[in-house]
Amino acid sequence: MFPMDEKSIGANIRGLREKAQLTVTALATQSQLTKSTLSKIETGQVSSPISTLMRIAAALDVPLADFFVEPTADPLYVLTRKGEGQIIAREGAQFGYFYEALALQMRHKRVEPFLLTISPGDPMGEFRHGGQEFLYMLSGRLQFTVGDQKMILRAGDSIYFDPTQEHTTQVLGKQPAKFLSLFIQDMPDPTSTTTRRGRRVK
């Protein structure tokens, strides 16, 4: 499938922010971003890593998928054939990573699955976001660090970790590293309400 256009993603974020009655400054603060960075994201001037988009989604209390698809009812299932996932980040993005989303059409879910490919020579990615995350290596070798723990991941290895800790990824060797990544979002408490400042109250 064709890559998701950064301007479309930014327009969705801007629309959700306005619906939540949040200013750019307020959302930037809650997302741990600068106002300038958020403005560039909303206008499609930058391609952001998933970790950044997850922080914005958490601040807005919306599923990550809302940034990439038009509002529709969830289907009964999402079947993604090999190589037919939605490309939402590609070569030329901040870290050069290639994200293939595998189930964006199912919007109201806690888990967002992606197939990631990192090529030799791509800069080391440094991430931190909410929720939880699971990686399963498919091919290649990846140097992975979470907190102060460094490890080498190979095909067949997996790791479930706390992504609120800074974590980094870097390819080792001459072959691309390909892995399945599951982003598990923190979902809002359905018994709570959200104020205009984004704070949940009972």
Q: Say how many domains are in the chain.
A: 2
Residue 94, domain member (yes or no): yes
For tokens 């067949």, what's the residue? Answer: 156
Mean pLDDT on 185-191: 59
Report the run of H or E that residue 134 belongs to, with start and end.
strand 132-139
For the chain, give the percent of residues with pLDDT over 70.
84
Report how far residue 46's alpha carbon sits from residue 25's, in angstroms, rounded to the nearest whole number: 18
Percentage with pLDDT > 90 across the chain = 54
Angle between helix 6-19 and 50-60 (nearest 10): 20
- What is the structure's pLDDT at 76? 87
Q: What average pLDDT does range 72-96 have in this prediction?
A: 73
* pLDDT score of 85 more than 80: yes
Domain presence at residue 79: no
The alpha carbons of the chain give a radius of gyration, in whole angstroms, of: 17
pLDDT at 36 over 90: yes
Position 76 in a domain: no
Distance between CA 130 and CA 153 in Å, rounded? 22
CA distance 35 to 171: 32
User: What's the pLDDT score for residue 20?
Assistant: 92
- CATH code for the domain of 21: 1.10.260.40
In-domain check, residue 101: yes
- Phi–psi pair at 24, nearest 5 degrees: -60, -40
| 13 in a structural domain | yes
- Pair (131, 158) in one structural domain: yes
Average pLDDT over residues 54-63: 92
Asked whether residue 22 falls in the same domain as residue 94, the answer is no
When pLDDT is cut at 50, 70 and 90, the band that residue 89 belongs to is low
Q: Does the pLDDT of residue 182 top 90, yes or no?
A: yes
pLDDT of residue 191: 44
We report the CATH number of the domain holding residue 178 as: 2.60.120.10
> What pLDDT band is residue 33 in, cutting at 50, 70 and 90?
very high
pLDDT in tens, 100-154: 989 988 877 889 999 999 999 888 888 888 899 999 999 999 999 999 999 999 9
Residue 192 belongs to some domain of the structure: no
The parent domain of residue 177 ranges over: 86-184
61 and 109 belong to one structural domain: no
Per-residue model confidence (pLDDT) at position 69: 74
Q: Specify if 193 maps to a domain.
A: no
